[in-house]
Amino acid sequence: MKKENNNLKSPMKEILISSLAYSLPRKFLMNRIQKKLYKEFLEKDKEKFPRKVQEDKFYMARNMMYAIDRGLRRGQISKEVWAKFMDSFKNIYWKRTDKIKAFQEKYGFKPPGFVTISPTKNCNLQCIGCYANSFRTSRERLDFEIVTRVVREQKELWNSHFTVISGGEPLVYKSQDKTIFDLAREHSDTFFLMYTNGTLINEEVAQKVAEVGNITPAISVEGFEEETDKRSGKGVHQKILRAFENLSKVGVPY
């Protein structure tokens, strides 16, 4: 039986990852991933999940992949950010299956692919109908040592290197003198998808996102200026556009 190579530092994998900065090998890998995603979401366990939900998952994952490819082709993602991004992202794709199997044997079900953490309920905005019931004066937050422990344990227990940071607004989070950037630095082998309203991403913050390299901001916009400002407050749409500019300048995908 062919043995799976789970050594994440294998030189062949490192070479393959570096080559993905170029469009031809990237195209090849994207085709492979697309087929894998299709099989995973739309052919496997057909009866288990509603077709529409699975289609949405497939298109979302595929669109993210194409957005990254577009960013690289247009030079909107810097080589440094790409290298750091892949360094953490590769751990999602090339999983060590022994830990996953051990988890499944112990608990009788597959471990989750990722964990979502809301480290704070505090937010600098107060949107109508906020899904997280967040507000400016909220003091509810998790201690940094708890947040970092969750990220560490998802790696140790079932080798998950993908964490979603949700809100409140992650960029206002501060606990035990640590921020979201300290979390990203402490777990440079984890990929963080950070839901943010974007209004705090000035040039300095964008630079920090570029430096850590393993945070991808997912910025919420309600639509055009009228819809966004109506729900989130006057001037928010303009601030979001500035965040896009600031991130583009330092080559960070969003």
List contacts with ligand SF4 (CB under 6 A): 123, 125-127, 130-132, 134, 167-169, 197, 232
> Which three-class secondary structure state does DSSP give residue 72?
helix
Q: Is 3 helix (H, G, I), strand (E, B) or coil?
A: coil
32 vs 136 by CB, closer to ligand SF4: 136
CB of 219 to ligand SF4, least distance (A): 10
Q: Strand order of the sheet with strand 191-196?
A: 115-117, 162-165, 191-196, 215-219
CB closer to ligand SF4, 125 vs 183: 125
Taking the least distance from each CB to ligand SF4, the nearer of 78 and 246 is 246
Distances (CA, A) of 36 to 42, 44, 61, 202: 10, 11, 11, 38
CB of 166 to ligand SF4, least distance (A): 8
Residue 144's alpha-carbon distances to 136, 137, 200, in angstroms, are 20, 19, 21
Determine the Cα–Cα distance for residues 93 and 86; give it in Å rounded to an integer: 10
CB of 228 to ligand SF4, least distance (A): 11
Taking the least distance from each CB to ligand SF4, the nearer of 63 and 126 is: 126
Q: Which residues contact 86 (CB under 8 A, 6 or more apart)?
A: 17, 20
Based on CB atoms, which residue is closest to ligand SF4, 43 or 137? Answer: 137
- Least spacing, CB of residue 222 vs ligand SF4, in Å: 10
CB of 197 to ligand SF4, least distance (A): 4
What is the end-to-end Cα distance of the chain in Å, rounded? 41
